[in-house]
């Protein structure tokens, strides 16, 4: 673990605000780990808010839904925050864009839900891990073995980001309600929430919930990694090559849990998410509720005016995020932050050849060889990427941080993970 400058002061006390829906939504067909979806609509089709517009039948996938109502104006390559470019469905909105009317379930209906019912709701809603991993959540809700512990990951250890912290403070009751429901269906006996000690309001809010045990974690990086949080809460290690299921544990990020709440209790598919818009260049950093597919320039304008022109725009945080080449790129399911860095912060240090020092190997908290995955990914050797277990990478960015050659290791590893599972 490493101690990083937190820089959460820009937005940690900013209550969640809603960003108005965009006039056009750009919805990539891949926003998850797994198979790319196929469009279910064509140019000219009229689309309702929340309508499923892309899907595929596979083991690991998540369908895509319309985040505004309107008309399909194109299905074409468009900037993608992780892949650079990818095929996207482009919707042009109409006046009904902001009508969020999904059907509420009665308490009686909810109490009758089984784990299989919840899994189906989660799959139909297109929910993926929203802490950045974007692994389809319905797969995680199908444990191959009995579980005894559910851990809610509220660590939010990535510097600058504060959306999860606000969610825990402002939606405590909803999170607690759905967590209790899921825990009951899974038959687990213990429910924990792990929160770093730099979020006293969230710790206080969950301390009032008797069914959930709060574990206060040190604000070290990457405290929010799945295996790290299990180790620090339960004192148990997930063996190499095994999953938390293997030791009877399920970990879910707090934003994912909230998305499950909205799907189960309100019948709402994943069409929006919280994004921290932050950094030195902004006069008004904010925690925004954003429709998926919204171009990031809308978020920047809403938090403007700019104090200075950003030299670097990152989707995500400084450790796990990805620098963007255009402000036309849209927010997708895994985009939890938008960081605008000024020239000094963004100082680009030239990438030089790997000197085979192994600092990245020693620093990797899950025991990978980032330098080798990087080379394989650059050569598009996706089979080799699989052999190097790139899928175990938790995208913490420590390899980038420690590399004396300034290799952009994480960027290529992220691509390797997405390509390797296609």
- The residues that touch ligand SF4, with contacts defined as CB under 6 A, are 354-360, 363-366, 368, 370-371, 393-399, 402-405, 407, 409-410, 413
Nearer residue to ligand SF4 within complex by CB, 26 or 388: 388
**Minimum CB distance to ligand SF4, residue 376 (Å):** 12
Work out whether strand 70-80 and strand 84-93 pair parallel, antiparallel, or are unpaired. antiparallel
Long-range contacts of 236-243 (CB under 8 A, 24+ apart): 240/367, 241/389, 241/392
Nearer residue to ligand SF4 within complex by CB, 120 or 408: 408
Nearer residue to ligand SF4 within complex by CB, 136 or 365: 365
Nearer residue to ligand SF4 within complex by CB, 313 or 360: 360
**Minimum CB distance to ligand SF4, residue 406 (Å):** 8
**Minimum CB distance to ligand SF4, residue 403 (Å):** 3
Nearer residue to ligand SF4 within complex by CB, 192 or 221: 221
Q: Shortest CA distance to 252 belongs to which of 156, 154, 146? A: 154
**Minimum CB distance to ligand SF4, residue 396 (Å):** 4
Nearer residue to ligand SF4 within complex by CB, 269 or 397: 397
**Minimum CB distance to ligand SF4, residue 234 (Å):** 20
Nearer residue to ligand SF4 within complex by CB, 226 or 272: 226
Assign residue 397 a region: left if phi > 0, alpha if psi is -120 to 50, beta otherwise?
A: left
Nearer residue to ligand SF4 within complex by CB, 329 or 371: 371
**Minimum CB distance to ligand SF4, residue 398 (Å):** 4
Nearer residue to ligand SF4 within complex by CB, 69 or 377: 377
**Minimum CB distance to ligand SF4, residue 220 (Å):** 14
Work out whether strand 249-253 and strand 16-18 pair parallel, antiparallel, or are unpaired. unpaired
Q: How far apart are CA 263 and CA 172, in angstroms?
A: 17
**Minimum CB distance to ligand SF4, residue 373 (Å):** 7
Q: Shortest CA distance to 342 belongs to which of 321, 313, 315? A: 313
**Minimum CB distance to ligand SF4, residue 241 (Å):** 14
Q: Shortest CA distance to 102 belongs to which of 264, 256, 255, 258? A: 264
């Amino acid at each position: 673990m490493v101690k990083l400058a937190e820089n959460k002061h820009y937005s940690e006390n900013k209550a969640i605000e809603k960003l108005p829906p965009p006039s056009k939504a750009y919805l990539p067909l891949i926003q998850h780990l797994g198979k790319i979806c196929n469009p279910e609509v064509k140019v000219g089709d009229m689309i309702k808010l929340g309508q499923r517009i892309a899907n595929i039948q596979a083991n690991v996938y998540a369908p895509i839904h319309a985040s505004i109502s309107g008309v399909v104006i194109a299905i074409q390559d468009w900037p993608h925050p992780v892949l650079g470019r990818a095929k996207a469905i482009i919707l042009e909105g109409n006046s009904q864009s902001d009508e969020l009317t999904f059907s509420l379930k009665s308490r009686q209906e909810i109490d009758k839900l089984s784990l299989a019912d919840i899994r189906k709701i989660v799959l139909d809603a297109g929910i993926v891990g929203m802490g950045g991993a974007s692994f389809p959540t319905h797969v995680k809700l199908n444990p191959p073995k009995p579980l005894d512990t559910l851990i809610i990951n509220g660590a939010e250890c990535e510097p600058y980001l504060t959306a999860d912290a606000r969610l825990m403070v402002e939606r405590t009751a909803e999170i607690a309600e759905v967590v209790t429901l899921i825990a009951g269906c899974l038959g687990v006996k213990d429910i924990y929430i792990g929160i770093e000690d730099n979020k006293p309001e969230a710790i206080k809010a969950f301390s009032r919930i008797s069914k959930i045990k709060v574990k206060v974690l040190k604000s070290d990086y990457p405290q929010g990694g799945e295996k790290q949080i299990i180790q620090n809460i339960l004192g148990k290690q997930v063996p190499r090559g095994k999953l938390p299921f293997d030791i009877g544990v399920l970990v879910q990020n707090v934003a994912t849990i909230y998305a499950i709440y909205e799907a189960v209790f309100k019948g709402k598919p994943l069409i929006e998410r919280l994004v921290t818009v932050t950094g030195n260049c902004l006069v008004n950093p904010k925690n925004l509720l954003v429709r998926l597919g919204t171009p990031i320039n809308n978020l920047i304008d809403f938090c403007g005016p700019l104090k200075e022109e950003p030299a670097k725009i990152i989707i995500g945080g400084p450790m796990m995020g990805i620098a963007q080449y255009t402000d036309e790129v849209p927010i997708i399911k895994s985009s939890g932050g938008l960081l605008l860095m000024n020239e000094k912060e963004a100082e680009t240090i030239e990438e030089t050849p790997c000197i085979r020092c192994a600092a990245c190997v020693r620093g990797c908290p899950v025991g990978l060889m980032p330098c080798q995955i990087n080379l394989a990914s650059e050569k598009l050797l996706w089979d080799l990427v699989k052999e190097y277990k790139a899928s175990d990478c938790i995208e913490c960015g420590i390899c980038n941080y420690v590399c004396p050659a300034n290799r952009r290791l994480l960027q290529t590893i992220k691509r390797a993970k997405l390509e390797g599972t296609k």
